[in-house]
Amino acid sequence: MSDLKVRRVKFDLAGDDIPFNWHPQRPAFAMQCNVVSFFAPGFEKLIVRRHARHCR
C-alpha cells in the first residue's frame, strides 16, 4: 500500500476573471483548446472502455 493522501482541491469556477477567448493574440488556438477540453472526457471514457475490453 502507498502513502498516497487524497485531498480535495477547490476550484473557483464561479469567477468571471478568465474570458472564453483567453488568448486574444491567437483566438483560433484558444478556441481549438477549448473544443479539445470539451470533448476530452467523452474520448477518455471511450479509450478506457476499449482498453478494458481488449484486456479481458
User: Within a domain: residue 13?
Assistant: no
CA distance 43 to 36: 10
User: Within a domain: residue 12?
Assistant: no
> Could you report the per-residue pLDDT of 1-56, keeping only the tens digit for each?
678 888 888 877 776 777 888 899 999 999 999 899 889 988 899 899 988 888 88
Number of domains in the chain: 1
CA dihedral 21, 27, 33, 34 (to 10 degrees): 30
DSSP of 5-48, one letter per residue?
Answer: ---PPP---S---S-SS--TTSHHHHHHHHHHHHHHHHHHHHHH
Tell whether pTM > 0.75: no
User: Within a domain: residue 26?
Assistant: no
pLDDT at 29: 94
Q: Which domain holds residue 52?
A: 32-56
pLDDT at 35: 92
User: Within a domain: residue 15?
Assistant: no
In the DSSP assignment, the letter for residue 3 is -
User: Within a domain: residue 19?
Assistant: no
Q: Which helix (H) or strand (E) holds 51?
A: helix 27-55
